[in-house]
Structure 1
Amino acid sequence: MIERIEGLGPVEKGGKIQKGSGADFSKALKEALEKVNDLQKRAEKLSDDFAQGKISNIHEVIIEAEKASIALRLTVEVRNRIVEAYRDIMRMQI
């Protein structure tokens, strides 16, 4: 089955895994988490600014808060799927 999936990832023909692909995944994961964190910080700052009267546009505050909320829910769901996959792998018998 692995031989049929060519060019889709770090698997070479013959089922060998290319080296160095783990760093790419960890880099992508780190960048994604930083983006989620930035969205959370921006939403919190806009909320604080609105509370202090610096911003009068409540729509912008609500939109940013929803963006941050959706990003956080997606991150938690991805984490749950990764943990579930890890548990499935650990239960496999060789």
Structure 2
Amino acid sequence: MEIAPLAMTPVSMHATSHLGETQEPKEVQSFGQYLTAALKKTNALQLESDRQNALLAAGRIEDVSQVVIAAQKADIALQLTLQMRNRAMSAYQEIMRMQV
């Protein structure tokens, strides 16, 4: 007698929800793609902050709050990137200390 393996069938919802559970699934990115996109966005925020600072120094910006907001966005993105790097390095070092 042959034993057939269990077939896992995905469960799909047929009702609509106002909470958004029934939306089509988005394309899943790999970790490398996600990290590359995050680094590009951080770089873009840094460049925008530099551009805003240059325009302020040239006297072309009247509202200083735009420059401050751009600088804060760039700083927060950079701090997050550094924390991610630190966590990844810490995890790597912990794995290297493991005895096999």
TM-score tier (shorter): 0.7 to 0.9
Deviations 1:56-86 (A, max 9, x none): 1100100110110011011001100000000
SS in 2 for 1:55: coil
Question: In the alignment, what sits opposite 2:89?
Answer: 83
Is 1:27 the counterpart of 2:33 in the alignment?
yes
User: Bigger radius of gyration, 1 or 2?
Assistant: 2
Higher relative contact order (CA 8 A, sep 6+): 2
Question: In the alignment, what sits opposite 1:70?
Answer: 76
Where does the alignment leave 5 or more consecutive residues of structure 2 unmatched? 1-27
TM-score under structure 1 normalisation?
0.74
Where does the alignment leave 5 or more consecutive residues of structure 1 unmatched? 1-20
Identity %: 42
Q: Equivalents in 2 of 1:37, 1:57: separation in Å? A: 23
Is 1:39 the counterpart of 2:45 in the alignment?
yes
Q: CA deviation at 1:54?
A: 1.0
SS in 1 for 2:99: coil
Deviating 4+ runs (over 4 angstroms): none
Question: In the alignment, what sits opposite 2:62?
Answer: 56
Q: CA RMSD in A?
A: 1.4
